[in-house]
Amino acid sequence: MTTVKAIAVIVIGLAGGLAVGTGFVAFLAVLGVIPRLTQLTKTMKWIYAYEWSAVFGAVTGGWMSLRSSALDISKYWLIPLGLFSGVFIGMLAAALTEVLNVWPILAKRIGMVDKIILLMMALVFGKVFGSLFYWMYFAEVMSL
């Protein structure tokens, strides 16, 4: 009986992981962040390596967060990690406005095609400010 149970658990776990993993990849594919990065850095030939990096990243992150393992290394590793994860989320956010076709319509409607960069900066600064505000003040108030 325990073997059956174990197999059932394995199958369910595998199926769940499969669904989440395909969803993650589909999400990345729709937003087109990886193609954008390869286009910027002119490294089209390494696109498969990038795919694997996303896969390994997802697996490592999943494993470490689920196992609650600790690396016990210097806390200053958090600085580059924070920066990289921020850039990643920032790119996702930018790609999302892209997919939703926000910019062309906004710029046309209000007749400010020439000022679109300045408007984009409003979004960028808004994101940075909102994020800092959240971590330094908002989250603290919420936890009280």
Which residues, numbered 115-144, are part of the site for another protein (CB under 8 A)? 115-120, 122-136, 138-140, 142-143
Q: Nearest approach, Cβ of 82 to another protein (angstroms)?
A: 4
Which of residues 22, 43, 53, 85 is near another protein by CB under 8 A? 85
Return all residues near 97 (Cβ < 8 A) that are at least 6 apart: 103, 123
Q: How many residues touch another protein (CB under 8 A)?
A: 73
Binding segment (CB under 8 A) for another protein, from list 1-9, 15-23, 48-56, 111-119 = 111-119
Count of Cβ atoms closer than 10 Å to residue 78 Cβ: 11
SS3 1: coil
Binding segment (CB under 8 A) for another protein, from list 2-10, 18-26, 48-56, 110-118 = 110-118
Which residues, numbered 14-73, are part of the site for another protein (CB under 8 A)? 32-33, 36, 39-40, 42, 64-65, 68-73
Q: Nearest approach, Cβ of 2 to another protein (angstroms)?
A: 32
Contacts 24+ apart (CB under 8 A), 19-26: 21/58, 24/58, 25/54
Please state, in angstroms and rounded to a whole number, the distance separating the CA atoms of residues 87 and 56. Answer: 18
Q: Look up residue 67 and give its two tokens.
A: 């196992």
Q: Nearest approach, Cβ of 79 to another protein (angstroms)?
A: 5
By CB under 8 A, is residue 94 in contact with another protein? yes
Work out the angle between the directed axes of helices 102-109 and 116-133 (0-180°, nearest 10): 120
Please state, in angstroms and rounded to a whole number, the distance separating the CA atoms of residues 107 and 109. Answer: 6
